[in-house]
Structure 1
């Protein structure tokens, strides 16, 4: 059965089955949920995540919403009344376990041999004298100054700890509602990891609703500009729309959620899924020239026969490259690899089956006649210039690329890795402004927890904690260190007089330490310490606040902690969300290496099978490797971090970029088999197939340009870098590869005489103009 007959006989089955599959996944779209929590990116068996979960279960959650109140003087009665009212209402929220603020801080003092615990702000001052008295008292309190109050009293902080099983997004919204219901002169800033996560969730929704329409609009303009026919726009876009529905529906079907990484998925499908349909429509127009065909069935059959093999092979290499993400350590990266690969496979099948089936139902358009003025299209003219340059100067071309690769390679030395969540947002974004204020004035919003086990009233352990804290406070990026040793020293100041041996020191005996806690419990609340020690005093944590979200900085602090505690028998582990985010950097590097290696190997093996030559795999790796060197070198020179988004680039670039080289080599081999010289075969390939390759590449670049208006800085960089990487792959396929062919004349592109004669007869028999493949 001929191709045209097969498609004509089963066209309604193809259309119906395609619709059923799409509708099935569309029914799942309402169940799609968003997960903004970056900690879920890390595998559950990672040390950082296990320790953090254990620490949270013992000491309660460590995720905090931080409110900053800024005024010329936050100790004014009106501001203090407002802050107190907001704190009281926040404490009533179900998802908040505790707060830390001016009104929660304690003033510990001694009185007649006992410890008296008073509120740091016993009452709202009403007169200037009372305000100054309060100011002096607060600034002399180590638990207040630089912790919840700046030295100039222009800002005060309120920390609200979220319950372990509460929904952080919902708690943030409720706190925002409380603040909005209590307006005042002091400006309020929202910070902390839960706020970052809530804003990520909000901006993911925004990106989905904005980026897809923008990308589709750009694609429509691109397609119409190329084909000048509505069917040339609608057929590829139909495949794109169905692919987006299917891939997005797969997320809830597989029990997954939308993350900041999978937000790339719809734009990827818009940019990639139309590629295969473009080739079919382009060939349809070319064969529909006047006098070329007499029936739709014959026309569609010729298109399918001529394109199914090269399109299928390039589609498989794209799938193989994207599946390189399966070796990535980050969970959402693996999910993106699966979803994108399945989406490309679905788009490939729809392009090869659904588009021809619909073509059989549409009335054939009037033939597109060539223009009579003899003028060449701008692209055709530029391709001829490129072809002449490559044919005349292949050695110069290769030398130019080698120099470019060497210069780019130097830039890789400056490439840095950073998974700082704060950098997801532009510098002027309110979330980023709040984070900068917290880092600068309140010790930072990132916390690293150091867990110790043993007798927490043992003076030896407490003295070690005190020594660790003093060492860490000397680090310029450490804002605050809070431990049980600080509590004991503060209580000792209330019991002992200045000049006595144990004033502001750890008592020498365990009984003396236990007595301090008993005295405190008589005048204070034992739950004041529940965040740093458990009920039985067998487990304690030291909280290290870092005033920078940079993963490099946090890793340095963690390294310092490990060095200090390496011989401590009570040391049990390190956790905290700051540590989790820092571990992402290592996972990004590890995942980048794995996915890159897997993508290159799998694609190279596929190319070896396609061309039945081991050397073909090595040959095709040259432009891909060069494009990666240019990409990472540019990132180094431009100070663009390798982060959770940009780490996806290499696999995507390999999967998409290899298509252009395969298209070129496929057509070149046919031209060479027809008896042409190396130079003529290269020239013809660049000026014919080069047109389709160039348009294909530009369609991908235009689709990804929509990412430039994303709410997230890494996604914007991702969009820009995709354009650069695809342009590099295009240059490699259209300039470097033909130059290498002319210089080295690879044997795997030479056909045997029988095959050459057969292909020559086939080409001579055809009366159509040169086709895309």
Structure 2
């Protein structure tokens, strides 16, 4: 401590202008890359570390020439749709959308093939297929033809024909996939240790280029979505219109987060400013803490820009948390400074400041270290954005501590505050009421804590991870309304692909269809016969069974597969199912311009794979994704006879479910690491097993209370609330360390536990109360967000602060008095 005091005496306190000038240069340097600070809500930002689901998803899309890169416009006209005027309005809307530069194509009831001609057969399908765009078809005839088609109802047209959809395709340029594949190949080489120095340099260059190109595509897509919205506004007078689709959801999530970072960021600062002004009533005690908070955020944003380290949906709240932690540090310094002013009113301001720094740097350092441990535990999670969040907070807390003990004293040296007469009054602070309650109702404190602990355990057992993506958004948002419309009327929201690989023929199998007595073209030859094609009676019958099973599930909406195409061709065939010979010639019978609609999305002859495209009903109250996926795998393997290694489940549903299901394991692992590490830290800091265990109690209650409350309220763990427990522990640890450190200091004066408790509540208790009050007030503004996870974050952060304060002012002192870990001198 002598060396530290000498450092302040020699460098910081005598030369505040030099310190601030050097710091200003650092701020200017980091500001150069503010424009590189970015948000990432892509699929890569929400997957597990080393999760192959994203790569499998991309491979499936490439194999079957499909993509989720499209917008969905739901259109429910005020007047009947199938009239000349109604179809004309729809066509005008479609044409305006298709005219946009970024739009590759559109699909709607206007351009899909109709099956209504009496002359239509398998032989004439190429010449008799008609569309509303190219042929003069009566609206009611088109309506019936679309509803009779097994492919369009519940997809492009609702079953009552009152709502239709326009699929606006936004093709991703080939350059994106070229850069992606090149980066992944180089990354795998590096991970295997096989990359040369040149390849490592190339990986860095390719990664930078991929990031820049992704940002460019994101900006272009945002502009396109804004153009689409502007077009839709022109047609809302005649119809109820909603916009949906994965690109729109990603764009709106980023918009919500940016809005929360800017609008609510300034709102939180305003609330903090107001609360600080009410508590301390001196402009220095408002400006200095806010400058320290602002500088911390400034440096971190600049660093993330320099490092090209994107902020994800999960880590977007790191700014709010840095405000919490930095403010907590500065408030503790302010309260201690004011106490020294009261005790030594004639002392020079720099001496008071030095005493404050020397007194508080040790507990604040302990606080910062243990909080870093709490957030550092998130790096043990298997979820990439949670890991990034842990590292960001670890670095941010380090910056916050350094700024607090370098910039705070420099600013205060230039702006020494006058003595606050309210501090020197004999009025007992409000926090002493907690001390009196703890002294008088000691049994009540212990019993209540035990009851809370039991309720926490029960609530933890009720905690789930199954939630619907739609629940992230308020019902007033376009995302929510669009999902509801698509789910209710157009066959479901979230995509799920079931891919089955064909059974390979044995080495001794005869692949000649005419080499046996059984002719597979005209009869069912059973599993013992193999042909190098999917279009046999046996295989199509099996795929039909899979289709029927998937369609029967209550969680699924629209199911598309080769069976849908066969049903369509059977309808063309006069309503008779295709026989084995007709099945064999299906690829030849389907016109070339319909192959990409009817065949290639469902059958890949080159890779021997069949695909079932499913839409999951996100609005289903009892949706259980993991249970659904397990049931599908079990039924296909046990009931329908497919080997498990031939079954692949892919798509957004799988990736999102993988992340959700990892939350339980991640949460348990994270909490275990947190408490284990903090217990070790307490043992090192306090050098007492008794005191370490006593210090753990309020932390356990605070973390358990938040998770238990979520369980009791039925709020599931999701990609945001997973961090709440670690945040709670970090907050509760701050109060615990400060209180125990002060208790130890005060106890040495007279060796009286009760008197020491009262003195601590009147001193450090005030700082803890002010910190909690300021943060609770500041973060209450987050309830106005449109992003439900942000609302939960604000509410649970406030609740965490309340429980941490309550535990530190009641349970903690009661346990100290009960255990008596200090020896009177």
Provide closer, same or farther for how the CA distance between residues 184 and 462 of structure 1 changes in structure 2, counting only shifts above 3 A: farther
Q: Which residue of 2 aligns with 1:84?
A: 91
Structure 1 segment 595-610 matched on structure 2, within 5 A: 595-610=670-685
Deviation at 1:273, TM superposition (A): 1.0
Q: Which residue of 2 aligns with 1:578?
A: 653
Once structures 1 and 2 are overlaid, which stretch shifts more, 293-302 or 547-556?
547-556
Q: Is the 8 A contact 2:244 2:479 kept in 1?
A: yes
Deviation at 1:180, TM superposition (A): 4.6
- Is 2:485 aligned against 1:437? yes
Unaligned 5+ residue runs, structure 2?
Answer: 174-216, 503-532
Q: Which residue of 1 aligns with 2:70?
A: 64
Provide closer, same or farther for how the CA distance between residues 386 and 231 of structure 1 changes in structure 2, counting only shifts above 3 A: same
Q: Which residue of 2 aligns with 1:333?
A: 386
- Is 2:151 aligned against 1:143? yes
Distance 1:340 1:111 in 2: 66
Provide closer, same or farther for how the CA distance between residues 176 and 228 of structure 1 changes in structure 2, counting only shifts above 3 A: closer
Deviation at 1:90, TM superposition (A): 4.0
Root mean square deviation, CA, Å:
2.7
Distance 1:352 1:487 in 2: 70
Q: Is the 8 A contact 1:81 1:124 kept in 2?
A: no
Distance 1:147 1:468 in 2: 20
Distance 1:699 1:323 in 2: 25
- Is 2:655 aligned against 1:556? no
- Is 2:116 aligned against 1:116? no
Deviation at 1:386, TM superposition (A): 2.0
Q: Is the 8 A contact 1:5 1:297 kept in 2?
A: no
Q: Is the 8 A contact 2:154 2:491 kept in 1?
A: yes
Provide closer, same or farther for how the CA distance between residues 523 and 544 of structure 1 changes in structure 2, counting only shifts above 3 A: closer
Q: Which residue of 1 aligns with 2:591?
A: 521
Distance 1:102 1:674 in 2: 85
Provide closer, same or farther for how the CA distance between residues 351 and 694 of structure 1 changes in structure 2, counting only shifts above 3 A: same
Distance 1:88 1:459 in 2: 42
Distance 2:815 2:130 in 1: 78
Q: Which residue of 1 aligns with 2:747?
A: 672
- Is 2:572 aligned against 1:568? no
Distance 1:123 1:47 in 2: 44
Provide closer, same or farther for how the CA distance between residues 739 and 223 of structure 1 changes in structure 2, counting only shifts above 3 A: same
Q: Which residue of 1 aligns with 2:439?
A: 391
Q: Which residue of 2 aligns with 1:101?
A: 108
Distance 1:709 1:45 in 2: 36
Q: Is the 8 A contact 1:395 1:739 kept in 2?
A: no
Deviation at 1:94, TM superposition (A): 5.7
Unaligned 5+ residue runs, structure 1?
Answer: 757-773
- Is 2:617 aligned against 1:543? no
Deviation string for 1:271-312 (max 9, x for gaps)? 221221222222323323486344233222212221111121
Distance 1:64 1:105 in 2: 17
- Is 2:785 aligned against 1:710? yes
Q: Which residue of 1 aligns with 2:464?
A: 416
Q: Is the 8 A contact 1:63 1:162 kept in 2?
A: yes
Deviation at 1:10, TM superposition (A): 4.8
Deviation at 1:38, TM superposition (A): 4.7
Distance 1:227 1:113 in 2: 85
Structure 1 segment 308-347 matched on structure 2, within 5 A: 308-347=361-400
The correspondence for 2:542, drawn from 442, 460, 464, is 464
Distance 2:596 2:310 in 1: 41
The correspondence for 2:21, drawn from 16, 21, 27, is 16
The correspondence for 1:366, drawn from 418, 436, 440, is 418
Q: Is the 8 A contact 2:560 2:612 kept in 1?
A: yes
Q: Which residue of 2 aligns with 1:208?
A: 261
Aligned residue for 2:125, secondary structure, equals strand
Q: Which residue of 2 aligns with 1:376?
A: 427
Distance 1:533 1:81 in 2: 36
- Is 2:454 aligned against 1:406? yes
Deviation at 1:728, TM superposition (A): 0.8
Deviation at 1:482, TM superposition (A): 0.7
Deviation string for 1:100-122 (max 9, x for gaps)? 32123323477466141523536
Once structures 1 and 2 are overlaid, which stretch shifts more, 398-407 or 668-677?
668-677
Distance 2:596 2:14 in 1: 81
Q: Is the 8 A contact 1:41 1:331 kept in 2?
A: yes
TM-score (norm 2): 0.83
Structure 1 segment 281-300 matched on structure 2, within 5 A: 281-289=334-342, 292-300=345-353
Q: Which residue of 1 aligns with 2:193?
A: none
Deviation at 1:733, TM superposition (A): 0.9
Q: Which residue of 2 aligns with 1:227?
A: 280
Deviation at 1:592, TM superposition (A): 1.8
Matched residues, number: 734
TM-score (norm 1): 0.89
